Amino acid sequence: MTAEPIRVLVTGAAGQIAYSLLYSIAKGDVFGKDQPIILILLDIPPMLPVLDGVVMELQDCALPLLKEVIPTDKVEVAFKDIDAAILVGSMPRKEGMERKDLLKANVAIFKTQGAALDKYAKKTVKVLVVGNPANTNCLIASKSAPSIPKENFSCLTRLDHNRACSQVAMRCGVSSDQVKNVIIWGNHSSTQYPDVHHAKVNLQGAETEAYQAIKDDAWLRGDFISTVQQRGAAVIKARKLSSAMSAAKAICDHMRDIWFGTKEGEFVSMGVYASGNSYNIPEDLIYSFPVQIKNSTWKVVDGLPINDFSRAKMDATAAELVEERDTALDFLSQ
């Protein structure tokens, strides 16, 4: 008895993140090895010829789980009855562009996509926003889709989480699966706070607090944080293109955890609705928290002790998000 195919939408599907992402989804790395998939690929009209090339390549991969590929530039086709939406497409920041201009362009995009989710998608759809500014774009999409539960929306901070994990692992000379429970707090921007106060490193079979394992507080409170915060810019500088392979991997990790849950005793970072959290983060934001996931439902890991150093960093990134939100909501009401 084979499962019914699920409908998975990827936007910005002719772009380079999607190019790294689609193969992993289609071959079963995200939704499971026995879950057939219908892939819906949305992009803007000028990108349709490129999208046709992507469709040809997906066909040429001859993947048994991939039942159908639907390229489109129409939201009513793209969002129809979908089970999962990975919203990668957004207006990128161009040189000399103010953050405000970027927000204005993206509010228009995510208002449209939120309205399309509201009108055409299943009410159980899980929505992951990747396109930047991801937290605020996610908030706008959610507000534009009032009939879909707020809990179904999240934005990607898993790439930052993976970056932080990897930095700690390299510093300790272990593989990254020996590091758990790093946290990314706040905005997917350079104000994010990568926090290892609750992280554990497995050293020769013994679980050690990250601060004990690394024994270099100056690095952990200085270069470690700025390396993770600035990593995207560093990749662009080196590659002349933004992170695509690592972003695609993080998207897969994030969606797989939503589908299958997190491991017992472990948490991951996700931008989620900030209502009713124990960390005094303002309500009505999409803010990155440590979460645990069971039965496709995330829960913020509450009650972790927060020292003054962390508090200041968590508040600073929250302040940036409040300002972004207020600017975006102004545009939304216009």
Integer Cα distance of 273 and 178 in angstroms = 29
Q: In this structure, are 77 and 181 located in the same domain?
A: no
Kindly report the pTM of this predicted structure. 0.97
| Catalytic residue IDs | 188
| pLDDT tens digits along 169-197 | 999 999 999 999 999 999 999 999 999 99
Integer Cα distance of 92 and 234 in angstroms = 17
Average pLDDT over residues 313-329: 97
In this structure, the strands spanning 297-300 and 286-294 are antiparallel
* pLDDT at res. 266: 97
Q: What percent of the chain has pLDDT over 90?
A: 93
Residue 312 half-sphere exposure toward CB, CA atoms < 13 A: 3
| pLDDT tens digits along 97-118 | 787 888 999 999 999 999 999 9
Least confidently predicted of 55-59, 102-106, 214-218, 252-256 = 102-106
Within a domain: residue 11? yes
Integer Cα distance of 61 and 104 in angstroms = 39
* pLDDT at res. 101: 87
* pLDDT at res. 306: 98
Domain ranges, residue 150: 6-155
* pLDDT at res. 92: 84
Q: In this structure, are 11 and 150 located in the same domain?
A: yes
- 15 marked among binding-site residues: no
- 307 marked among binding-site residues: no
Final residue before a domain boundary, out of 137, 155, 173: 155
Q: In this structure, are 138 and 286 located in the same domain?
A: no
Q: In this structure, are 182 and 200 located in the same domain?
A: yes
Q: In this structure, are 102 and 173 located in the same domain?
A: no
Integer Cα distance of 22 and 125 in angstroms = 19
Within a domain: residue 317? yes
**264 DSSP assignment:** T
- 131 marked among binding-site residues: yes
* pLDDT at res. 1: 60
* pLDDT at res. 95: 76
Q: In this structure, are 19 and 123 located in the same domain?
A: yes
Q: In this structure, are 96 and 185 located in the same domain?
A: no
